[in-house]
Amino acid sequence: MNTVVVIPTYWGRESHVGWKEGDAIYDHPTPLDKEGTLARAIDSIKILNDKDFTLVVIAAATAEDIEKKVEEKVSSILKGMNPGVDVVFFSHSHLERIKAELKKKGKEDLVDVLSLRGYSNIRNLCLFVPHLLGAEEVVLIDDDEVFEDPDFIKKAREFIGTEFKGEKILAVAGYYIQPDGGYLLHKDFEPWMVYWNNLEKMNEAFEKFIGKGERLKETPFVFGGNAIIHRDLFVKIPFDSGITRGEDIDYLINARMFGIKFYLDNQLFIRHLPPPKPYPTWLKMRVDIYRFMYEREKLRTQEPIKGMKIVTAEELDPYPGEFLRDDLEEKVYRASELLAIQYMAEGKPEDALESLKNIEIAKIQARPLHNPFRSYLSFQQKWESLMTLGSGLHI
């Protein structure tokens, strides 16, 4: 098997500069003056028994004017490491060369398929670059994780491409061990969470699919930082560039529309050690509102097309299905009101106003202006054309 492990890594301006208007927004990009978590992730490869794979590191900058610095920074980190596997580095200059090649081949219409801005676009490069390397399967992890299971690669390869209950397995999901050693998420209960119960529903899903039953089972969720995708899937199905976050579960939905299932392996784990996210609760809710509204509309605009399957919110229960139903706006309204009251009690009127803005956003701004299903099909067709060309392109 030709296995490629991919780590995307996100970098922002120096600490004293911080985020500027127009910069891409990621959960925790590493400032250029810091070392970040990438070296820790790569160093953990040493624990693996099976090192018969290629490591691809994809570096993304939050802004165009720091792209060169980001390439230099990540390149210097990689030069100082010896993980015991072949390492391929890809960043903005490499992407520009790919785009130039496409233009030379008269394929200008495919240039905009590839981008290093936004989670979905970066995930697509996590599939495209391995494709150029002839990968049979791609293992997606993140730079804020570490390997702790010496047999991780063995387990990652164990089921991918094999037959299970009469179907070929093209996608396997692992799971995260949290910093406390368990797989459940923990947060102190607050009243607004009665209506915005995403943590509760995620843990319900984790208990059902990770904590119970047979080792391998069809899953409604996937972690983008612990997933294995077979070539037969990634040459056909891209991540949806129209969604701003939650691209991993959205990819599962896209695959399911094409009749392809994700299976969760409850023995395939990786340790997740994310830096703290310095964002207020109202903003975390807001970005989820945009993602759930987009995905719900994609489900609503599905059409009966030969070779495709209609996916329902119910089959994605308990998570994300709970947030893809008709009562999504009601959830936002009730939760935002309670959160605003809490902010006022804490003496934070600005945050209270932002919380109440989420109600309007759910009703107006977060509603896609286009047909997400049709838009995705159009993008998917371009992706297939690009992947057909892929073998003739060079990094």
Largest CA distance in the chain: 62
d(CA 34, CA 229): 32
Q: What is the pLDDT of residues 100-143, one digit of tens each?
A: 999 999 999 999 999 999 999 999 999 999 999 999 999 999 99
Domain that holds residue 138: 3-276+374-392
For residue 353, being part of any structural domain is answered with: no
For residue 313, give the 3-state DSSP assignment.
coil
Query: Residue 18: pLDDT band by 50, 70, 90 thresholds?
Result: confident
Give rounded-to-5 percent helix, strand, coil for the chain: 45, 15, 40
Contact present, 1 and 133 (Cβ < 8 Å): no
The set of residues, in sequence order, having a beta carbon less than 8 Å from that of 354 and lying 6+ positions away, is 280, 282, 283, 286
Say whether pLDDT at 272 is over 90: yes
Percentage of residues in the chain having pLDDT higher than 70:
99
Q: CB count, 10 Å around CB of 109?
A: 11
Contact present, 45 and 147 (Cβ < 8 Å): yes
For residue 228, give the 3-state DSSP assignment.
strand
Strand 171-177 to 216-218 pairing: unpaired
Contact present, 206 and 323 (Cβ < 8 Å): no
Q: Spell out the alpha helix ranges (H) of 175-280.
A: 198-209, 231-234, 247-257
For residue 306, being part of any structural domain is answered with: no
Helix axes of 328-345 and 281-300: crossing angle, nearest 10 degrees: 170
For residue 188, being part of any structural domain is answered with: yes
Q: For the chain, how many structural domains are there in total?
A: 1
If residue 339 lies in a helix (H) or strand (E), which one and from where to where? helix 328-345
Contact present, 124 and 114 (Cβ < 8 Å): yes
Phi/psi of residue 190, nearest 5 degrees: -130, 150
Query: Residue 1: pLDDT band by 50, 70, 90 thresholds?
Result: low
Question: What is the rounded average pLDDT of the residues 267-272?
Answer: 97
Among candidate residues 173, 182, 216, 220, the one with its CA nearest the CA of residue 201:
220
For residue 237, being part of any structural domain is answered with: yes
Burial per residue of 137-170, b for 16 or more beta-carbon CB atoms within 10 angstroms, e otherwise: bbbbbbbbbbbebeebbebbbbbbbeeeeeeebb
Instruction: Provide the CATH number for the domain around residue 205.
Output: 3.90.550.10
Q: What is the pLDDT of residues 23-79, one digit of tens each?
A: 888 988 999 999 899 999 999 999 999 999 999 999 999 999 999 999 999 999 999
CA torsion 40→45→47→48, rounded to 10°? Answer: 160
Q: What is the pLDDT of residues 346-356, one digit of tens each?
A: 999 999 999 99
